[in-house]
Chain A
């Protein structure tokens, strides 16, 4: 009995963590290239609505996921053109992207409110995914496994490949990277596109797997939590995984407390937990570090122009 409860808690935890993990992993790569994209929340919302719209129209959640990634890339490109090609302020443009994502997703989603789709299901056959405790390992959907694979993939790419080294060089010292002959702007375009795809997927995880339906501002600030998570992880993919699952645990706690009918704390105050936890984590990170600006890439947020 207790093991069944533990397994079900674990399943909730993994599901709650996955969208933040995806979005934060994308942002980590973007920031490693020296760009701060504050528009994660906006890209997630665009992915969420595009994924739902396509899944509803075609009946295929797989196509929905593809559409979500494409929508994420498309919105990310708006940010890229403005900040890289037109050297607009990254903070302001990121904010604009979020405001845009809220408006655009609400506009597109208006026709889909109240519609339902089939939830994204587990990958493995019923004998494994329905097993009382084996489902803790085999009961997840494709996006969960993809997110875990991507953590290792991104970690390997950044630390062990030449391309990853160049990306980090661009983020640490764009002027030198440019002087050696690396295409700084093109590399950053690529990183921003990757970040957009993962944010879009993360957003779609809400509308295709967690809820599964469309509602305005469905992601409820998870994009901002993803941004905080990158700081928490000190720009390391492994720690990002840990951090995302920690946040997932906080959110699961909130859900479990609600389900258990906790009465001494109002549900509204319980709902503040993830946001307060984010502030607490950011504070602890700053208290824990010894010198300098954490481990942020040196060129983070600074505009670059070749001329």
Chain B
């Protein structure tokens, strides 16, 4: 009979291998499920997971979708390491875009290199402010940041609707619920001419490297990990759990806010009611797929970006509904959590000595 035996140390081999096993299982189960539902399961899986990588003309789109996912997930992963469960990144993302857009509307008609940095700063501050409330409530009153950060997501989305339909509606926009288009000085520059590749993509990579250095090479990163793994030991070691809660929530809020502003000042070029696309939730999957490691998250972001890009391809090639993308993403997270057991347990046959 099969038997689970707890490993003394987590397996480093499985730590790296289990995300790949999870992706493989997701492809297999996805194929079976969609075939059972009457779709061409084989081609659906191929188009979602392979076509975006095999066709070079899709690569810029992969980068555009991966950049916000990576930025948000980097912040979330630092928090998850410290057992701080910020699941309202979507709200911070939206609020960052709102604050940055506020700067853009205030500087309407002006020009100068400083406008875009000011908008980015607005984005960071907006995201941080939206994460500050869960941080304050958790540190001062032990209120679960899970529930407060999530509730604030719904609030942020309503505030967005209010602004684009009301005070921020484009006066020359034929009454459509959307803000003015951003001017050239308010838009992220394109780094590869004639493509969609904007400045946010290389910046996401730079931030990933900074996050890696921070987590692996500094005392602050060490403090975050100790607080998460052994709160009692952290107290004895003089690490302040409250400071870590504040720092991780503000960092993840700020990064999500910046990602939101980049999305607004990049692919969108304005704010519309369609702006909240769920990147804040998908980034949770990215963080786990990347094993909460900044470099892993870059790869995780690219894989999840592929499910978006590939999902669109599969919509035209095999008429897969748009919602299938979300299914594949959720399936991937389930498989990741399931294969995690291989890291902590050794599977063998009962009766034999290992």
Contacts and interface: CB of A to CB of B under 8 A. Distances in A.
B334 A279 contact: no
A178 to B, nearest CB: 16
A24 to B, nearest CB: 13
A18 interface: no
A285 B137 CA distance: 12
Contacts of A106: 323, 326
B214 to A, nearest CB: 23
Contact of A104 (B148, B159, B327): B327
Nearest to A267: B162
Given A86-B337, A88-B337, A272 B159 contact: yes
A5 interface: no
A286 B141 contact: yes
A107 B321 contact: yes
Contacts of B4: 307
B330 A268 contact: no
Contacts of A82: 334, 337-338
A100 B152 contact: no
B324 A92 contact: no
Nearest to B330: A100
Nearest to A83: B337
B6 A305 contact: yes
A156 to B, nearest CB: 29
Given A103-B323, A103-B326, A283-B137, A86 B165 contact: no
B150 interface: yes
Interface stretch (A133-141, A145-153, A223-231): A223-231
Nearest to A102: B326
Interface residues of A, number: 45
Nearest to A268: B162
A92 B142 contact: no
A161 interface: no
Interface in B321-337: 321, 323-331, 333-334, 337
Contacts of B148: 279, 282
B332 to A, nearest CB: 9
A268 B159 contact: yes
B147 A278 contact: yes
B70 interface: no
Nearest to A307: B6
A271 B323 contact: no
Contacts of A78: 334
Interface string A228-262: 10010000000000000000000000000000000
B87 interface: yes
A82 B331 CA distance: 13
A224 B326 CA distance: 20
Interface in B147-163: 147-148, 150-152, 154-155, 158-159, 161-162
Given A99-B285, A228-B147, A279-B151, A268 B165 contact: yes
Contact of A271 (B158, B166, B326, B344): B158
Contacts of A276: 151, 155
B340 interface: yes
Nearest to B147: A228
Interface of A: 38, 78, 82, 86-89, 91-93, 95-96, 99-100, 102-104, 106-107, 110, 216, 220-221, 224-225, 227-228, 231, 266, 268-269, 271-272, 275-276, 278-279, 282-283, 285-287, 293, 305, 307
- Nearest 8 CB-CB pairings of A with B: A103-B326, A100-B330, A268-B162, A286-B141, A106-B323, A107-B323, A88-B337, A96-B333
Interface of B: 4-6, 85, 87, 133, 137, 141-144, 146-148, 150-152, 154-155, 158-159, 161-162, 165-166, 281, 284-285, 288, 321, 323-331, 333-334, 337-338, 340-341, 344
25 contacts: A86-B338, A86-B341, A91-B85, A92-B337, A96-B330, A96-B333, A99-B329, A99-B330, A100-B330, A100-B331, A102-B326, A103-B323, A103-B329, A224-B150, A268-B162, A269-B162, A271-B158, A272-B155, A275-B152, A276-B151, A276-B155, A279-B137, A279-B147, A282-B137, A285-B143
